[in-house]
Structure 1
Amino acid sequence: MLASYKYTGKKRRSQLVKFESNPEFTRETFTLLGGAGGVRAIGLGMLLAMTFGVGAVNVAQAADAGNTGNGVLTLADPAYTNAVLPGDYTVVCTTGGADAVSKFRVEDPEGNHVGTATGGTSFAKHIKFTIAGGGTDFVEGDRFVVSVAVELGAATNKVVEWDPDAVDGTERIWGVSLVDLEAPDGEDVSGGLALRRGDVILAGQEIAWPDGITDDQKAAAVVELEQMRMIVR
């Protein structure tokens, strides 16, 4: 009786990508961020996230001309975390008063509640700032707008592995790796290639899901990919 052998070869792009409309449009190159305490390794089919480099994000703020309170919103340096989104954040007073009493609802550009800021106390979710009261207390409805511009193609931006449990922005999917790539400890490496947008159909069984991912996290990731016009089947 002849012996039988099972051979497992290296995964190919054609196994992951079932359909791709136009590689010139759907793909994008990237630089892999250097490892932190060891080698950072990504593989074909891994989901990726983006970290923003210095100069890639510009943040400005403005108080509403109709505000009653004459306090000021001062941006931190830097004025954002990796969770920041491009667009206008609104900071609206929900409880009037002086510092330590006044409260402000912070919403992202999509209208989602990010958190509640307290007068006189630093706020650091998506955007980072401190609101200080003035001679006239804030009242309900007083408002600030924090505008964020993100240069997604900035050379200082680096890619890392997607982490569904993160809260620093790397929980948002940037793309799907089309290569195997390693970055030594502290040394960024270019040469990355990823699927960034559709129209694309991906083989679900070929996606390299992170260890410990829950079914809910996986389902949410599939929805996020679909919003990027990358369908998982």
Structure 2
Amino acid sequence: MGNPTYTPFQENWHNGGFLVSQANGHQSIEQGTLTGGVKVLAGTVLGTILSALTAAAAALGTNTGNGTFGAITPQAAPATMIGAYLVSLTSSSAFTVTAPDGQTATGTVGSAFSGLGIGFTITAGGTPFAAGDSFTLTTTATPGNPSIASAAGTNTGNGTIGSLSVQGYAAKAGVYSVEFDDATHFVVTDPTGAEVGHGTTGVAFKAGGLSFTITAGGTAFAAGDSFTVTVAAGSSKYKPFDPANVDGSQVPSGILFATKDVTSADKPCAVVVRLAEVNSSELVWPTGMSAAAITASLAQLKALTIIPR
């Protein structure tokens, strides 16, 4: 008589199985709409789509000048983070970038890097880099856009870092105003009323999350001429969180209570958004997300009163 054959039991992801505790009643859970075009497991960390990344300009009142407002490019998130970025060489030709909030990305020496809100190129020198060599990129807040500066660690390699750039601040949903001081100069304020920068006709403006150019016409602008720029709000739908997203869902905003398949259509969903304890080992993150980025994201959930255990 042979030995019996057993089929191993595999436990599926249970709806709400990640919860350790939650507030009485329905205080911890909100109803929403889930999107993303995939099957999303219970326990998946979600973000909220907050930006549609579209903008349109319109004259505010009757302008004296007949110049035109060019195409507008709203800056997507992730925007530049203020603080120190660490660039660590992992070999003579590869490096990892760690942002101030712990998110990471990788790059290659000799190729332009763009991500996490910054851009740069590392150029090899006569002496190759070694694992552990590093640079620190420090961003500081300035009117309009952040600025960036670099400093090398005590490196084996004598290569250099250059072509530093910042992406700037992300656009805010709402209405910006553009008001002329005279025929060629204007001031831009954001939806909160904060001044974000000064511009000149015929010169590209980039500050406060917007990029555009105003072109003078046959009739000059006059002081008091103005435009509004309306940045569309996002859908406020939930989708799986990913730090690489650029629509607002790169920031954790809740955890999906029950598995939903939204491959073919968006569906209603229940999301744990506050006043709960969760088992961190049962949360679902994007494939390949680093330990540092997960730690940073757990801290963001904790700030929402979703406490990882």
Task: Kindly report which structure 2 residues correspond to 1:134-213, keeping only aligned pairs within 5 A, or say none.
Answer: 157-185=236-264, 187-190=265-268, 192-197=269-274, 199-213=275-289
Q: TM-score, normalised by structure 2?
A: 0.47
Structure 1 residue aligned with 2:168: none
- Which ranges in structure 2 are unaligned for 5 or more consecutive residues? 53-171
Q: Distance in 2 between matches of 1:42 and 1:159?
A: 11
Aligned-partner SS, 2:270: strand
Cα deviation 1:176-208 (Å, max 9, x = unaligned): 0010000233x2222x111012x2111110111
Contact in 2 for aligned 1:87/1:148 (Cα 8 Å): no
Cα displacement (A) at 1:33: 2.2
Distance 2:179 2:280 in 1: 48
RMSD: 4.1
Alpha-carbon distance in structure 2 between the residues aligned to 1:205 and 1:46? 11
Aligned amino acid, residue 175 of structure 1: G
Give the distance between the partners of 1:170 and 1:204, measured in 2 at CA: 20
Q: Which has the larger radius of gyration?
A: 2
Which whole-Å deviations, capped at 9, do the CAs of 1:114-161 have from their partners, x for residues lacking one? 5xx6xxxxx2xxxxxx352665899xxxxx9978796x9xxx542221
Conserved? CA contact 1:17–1:203, under 8 Å:
yes
* Compared CA separation, residues 146 and 216, structure 1 to 2 (3 A): farther
With the length of structure 1 as denominator, give the TM-score of the two structures.
0.60
C-alpha deviation, 1:227, in angstroms: 1.4
Decide whether aligned partners of structure 1 residues 3 and 226 sit closer, same or farther in structure 2, where only a CA change above 3 A counts.
same
Supply the distance in 1 between the matched residues of 2:290 and 2:194 (Cα, whole angstroms): 31
Q: Is the 8 A contact 1:71 1:131 kept in 2?
A: no
User: Which residue in the other structure is 1:99 paired with?
Assistant: 202
CA separation of 1:3 and 1:148: change in aligned 2, threshold 3 A: same
Of the three residues 202, 214, 218, the one matched with 1:132 is: 214
Amino acid in structure 2 at the alignment position of 1:59: G
2: CA distance, partners of 1:27 / 1:181: 16
Q: Distance in 2 between the 1:20 and 1:145 partners? A: 45
Query: What is the number of equivalent residue pairs in this alignment?
Result: 180
Sequence identity (%): 19
Equivalent position of 2:34 in the other structure: 32
Query: Among 25, 39, 55, which residue is 1:41 paired with?
Result: 39
Q: Find the residue that maps to 1:30 and give its secondary structure.
A: strand
Determine which structure has the larger helix proportion and give its number. 1
